[in-house]
Amino acid sequence: MNKFIYPLAAAAALCTGNLFAQEAALITPNADSAFDCVQENTRQNRTLVFEGSVVTQEFTACTSGTLSAVEVAVKGVTEDVWYLAEIVNNHGEVLDDTRFTHRNIVNETVQLNLMADVTEGLNYALQLTTPEEGNMSLRYQLTNMGTLWNDGEPVRGTLTAKFGFNTDNTQYVESEYATRNSDTPETRALENECKTSTGLSDGKVKLTAPGHTITQSYTACANGTMTSLALNIAHHTSDFEGRIRVENEEGDVIMNNKVDRTNIVKDAITLPVNAEVTAGETLTFYVKLGSDTQFAIKRNTQANVGECKLNGVSMDFNLDFTSYIKESHVGENADLDEAAITTFPNPFNDRINVRMENAPKGPATVQLLDFSGNIIRTETVNVKDAEGNISFDTRDIDGAGYYALRIIQGDQIKNVTVLKR
């Protein structure tokens, strides 16, 4: 049977749903003389194969002291490829990390050189990351979902693994941020605009390997157009690159952009969104690291605007971000559907011109998107006398084929399909 040694684990299991905690209550301490308590799953009836992604296994510390040993059952890996293993706390902080190759695997088990200070009853995560050129096969037991994740997607199972802990006599002090503010910091921004913001940061969370992903959900503060999303950055490497996307409550992608260091201005990434949202709906943005570099985002343990997940595991903080929504107003007589939108040349090559006729008065956002939803160009034109004109330089757009031209004005959207040679 599975052997998990964990005093008072029965109570912890009711709160966490952690399989390690649920099974631990069945065993007495000191079953392994090298450790004061051990959490171990020895069963295996499935193999999890992954490549270019990260697998995360949650576990609960069974004593306050040191996580002294980690062993994982590995069926196979690509030879001469380096893999990353990390221990992460619930603040998203990497407590320790190590790298290993096939040479470290003995009798289908890898002993990871990891050590971290832990507190009894708190949840932690083991993260195993594979590069694009290497795959890994891990053995696991088919169980309920809730503790094992593959690239943020839940896996019904628990890794065949061992976590050894040693107790110390340190008196732990409750964190300064143990009591979090439950008020959502939604305040008015400019006239006819609302914003959702998490306020001042009190730390950072790092993405440390390709494929690492962090998500943040929050609630739209008004009916209208989400105009922009700003994310505050703690630090990054010079060759950082990744991707940020935003989804609405229906799972529709309303923004999907590649980012790199050129997008970081005054320690923040600010991206235009220009998508219609509904007050009260849940919006979620995703940040995914796309290169073998490091990238740290500021976070706030006092904020509680939604849920933040690091590689699928829930964190007890929110990311430091600001989202702006331009409110819609009842009674506006604008009718973009009746406007005539002319593009020329169509098909286009080095440049495309857009002309709006019989359009409502006021600012209009014009976007050029590929059919994956990536915003390639975006400009704002002020419509006067029912006319507006804009031009995009498209010489650096390589792919031939169909593109979408989106015009956003107030709470109205009009789409036109165009063709690039």
Distance separating alpha carbons of residues 64 and 406, to the nearest angstrom: 56
List, run by run, the mean pLDDT of 10-residue segments along the chain (421 residues). 30 38 37 76 94 92 90 94 91 86 92 88 93 92 88 92 79 29 36 78 85 93 88 86 92 90 88 87 93 84 90 91 77 65 88 86 86 84 78 87 87 86 83
Query: Quick check: helix, strand or coil at residue 338?
Result: helix
If one counts every other C-beta atom within 10 angstroms of the C-beta of residue 356, the result is: 23
Residues 27 and 299: their CA atoms lie apart, in Å, by: 38
Helix (H, G, I), strand (E, B) or coil at 370: coil
- Cβ–Cβ < 8 Å for 130, 136: yes
Q: Is 31 helix (H, G, I), strand (E, B) or coil?
A: coil
Which is it for strands 37-40 and 109-112: parallel, antiparallel or unpaired?
Answer: unpaired
Cβ atoms of 186 and 221 closer than 8 Å: yes
pLDDT in tens, 126-161: 999 998 888 999 999 999 877 899 988 899 999 999
Which of 355, 390, 397, 395 minimizes the C-alpha distance to 374?
397
Please give the order of strands across the beta sheet that includes 375-383. Answer: 375-383, 362-369, 401-409, 412-420
DSSP SS3 for 395: coil
Q: How far apart are CA 128 and CA 407, in angstroms?
A: 44
Inter-residue contact 215 to 308 (CB < 8 Å):
yes
What local confidence, expressed as pLDDT, does residue 190 receive? 53
Residue ranges of domains in the chain, CATH in brackets: 3-167 (2.60.120), 186-327 (2.60.120.380), 336-420 (2.60.40.1930)
Q: Phi, psi (5° rounding) for residue 105?
A: -95, 120
Give 315's contacts (C-beta < 8 A, 6+ positions apart).
90, 91, 92, 205, 299, 308, 309
Q: Mind listing the pLDDT tens digit for each residue in 190-223?
A: 556 788 888 778 888 988 888 899 999 999 988 8
Give the per-residue pLDDT at 13: 31
Tell me the residue ranges of DSSP E strands in 130-170.
Answer: 135-141, 148-150, 153-155, 158-159, 161-167
Q: Three-state DSSP class for 53?
A: coil
Hey, is 30 helix, strand or coil? coil
At residue 33, the pLDDT reads 60
The predicted structure's pLDDT at residue 72: 96
